[in-house]
Amino acid sequence: MHSLAYLARQPILDRDGKIYAYELLFRDSPSSDTAVIASDVLATAQVLENVLNNIGLPKLIGEHKAFINCSRDMLLDNVFGLLNPRCFVLEILEDVEVDDSLVKAVMRYKGRGFELALDDFIYNEDFIKRCEPLFPYVSYVKMDIVDNSEEALAEAAKFFKAKDIKILAEKVETKACFKKCLAAGYDYFQGFFFAKPELVTGKKIDATSAAILRILLLLRTHPSLDELCDCFSEYSDVAQNLLRFVNSDAQYRSQKILNVRDAIVWIGMRNIQEWLMLMLYARPEMGMTPQSSPLFQNASHRAKFLELIARVVRGTDDDLPAKAFMVGLISRMDALIGAPLESILTDSHADEEMKQALLQRTGRLGDLLRLADAVEQDDQSTILAILKDLNMSSTLLNRCVNDAYTWAHER
């Protein structure tokens, strides 16, 4: 039976650090050392089949654009003819032969309203000369910051801006690198720099955030209504915020809600969790819409992904899924508040197993967190090794990745 393909979804951010688009990368089931894409045609075709038939485009990218890799054969064979040009950006791979046939195909796609991008551009005379016939038709050029010198990156920004082509920096992994590219005039950025915090020594998690983490951890254990009410009663600030929230749409009810028990019954256990997660990430620096921030999206997705994986491998440990969810959520909190994880964990009610997973990547939870890291970074060899250690099939991995995307969209 053919197992589901999974997608490595990597965010592309604008100059304000907001999600502009996602690059969608097909990854075959990493069940053997030969997990190599047989051809670019097959890879992109399976991306499209997976997105359109299995996951659904709205669940995967929302209102954003989707960048997808395109080989020469796919462009010439009109594979993308039925796609919505408002949603997809076609990335022309760096090794594509540029001749009259390709230029005509690109012109046709441009005429249909598609935006096109040049992938992995190396700023030198040979690349410029080879790709020059495509410049009038492309909207983006993607520059790999590893394969280009700092001087080349700066020169490329000037060169393409003069041609009214947007320029995107790939593999941006640190805030320092992001700031350099920003200063050079780059329009978009791809990489996990948004999750690499600039830590402030001695900074601690605030009391409200610590309380939210405590309640979230309890929620993952499916508490009774009485247990949840008792937990809220320990944190008056959070309880008051909940009452303000449920009474903000009082016009839909005959009377005001005055206590936490009635508030929980009114909005339901699941909605309590979602409200808490939003409250956790709705900090001043996140603006009014934390849902649209890459950090919130990443933390939410990896939390659910870890929980789903934990359900598969937990054995007799019924607490593992709840802990895994919280480990995923907490793993991005250092980036959120700029405080070291050590100080966050002191006030988060995390037990020793969770602490070792977050700080050392050890234990079963540590293995799950390393797996989430590897999937996000598209590290196939690490994925393969961890799956072997967990005695877990690639089919189940694929299902968990895709189900986590669906859950994140439905929240």
Q: Are residues 86 and 171 in the same domain?
A: yes
171 near 195, Cβ under 8 Å?
Answer: no
Is residue 202 assigned to a domain? no
382 near 370, Cβ under 8 Å?
Answer: yes
Give the structural domain span for 152: 6-195
The H or E element containing residue 119 is strand 115-121
Instruction: Give the mean model confidence (pLDDT) for residues 362-385.
Output: 91
Q: Are residues 112 and 21 in the same domain?
A: yes
Q: Are residues 63 and 113 in the same domain?
A: yes
Q: Token pair of 408, please?
A: 């994140």
| pTM summary value | 0.81
- Please tell me which residue, 340 or 361, carries the higher pLDDT value: 361
Q: Are residues 15 and 64 in the same domain?
A: yes
Is residue 283 assigned to a domain? yes
What CATH code is carried by the domain that includes residue 171?
3.20.20.450
Q: Are residues 191 and 306 in the same domain?
A: no
380 near 27, Cβ under 8 Å?
Answer: yes
Q: Are residues 223 and 352 in the same domain?
A: yes
DSSP-derived secondary structure letter, 303: H
Is residue 395 assigned to a domain? no
**Over the stretch 50-105, which tens digit does the pLDDT of each residue have?**
676 667 778 778 889 999 888 888 889 887 877 889 999 999 998 899 999 999 99
Q: Are residues 124 and 157 in the same domain?
A: yes
Q: Are residues 225 and 306 in the same domain?
A: yes
pLDDT at residue 138, as a whole number: 97
Is residue 275 assigned to a domain? yes
Among the ranges 4-13, 78-87, 352-361, which has the highest mean pLDDT value?
Answer: 352-361
- For the chain, the domain total comes to 2
215 near 238, Cβ under 8 Å?
Answer: yes
Is residue 51 assigned to a domain? yes
Distance CA 221, CA 136 (A): 57
**Over the stretch 173-198, which tens digit does the pLDDT of each residue have?**
988 999 999 999 999 999 989 888 87
Is residue 280 assigned to a domain? yes
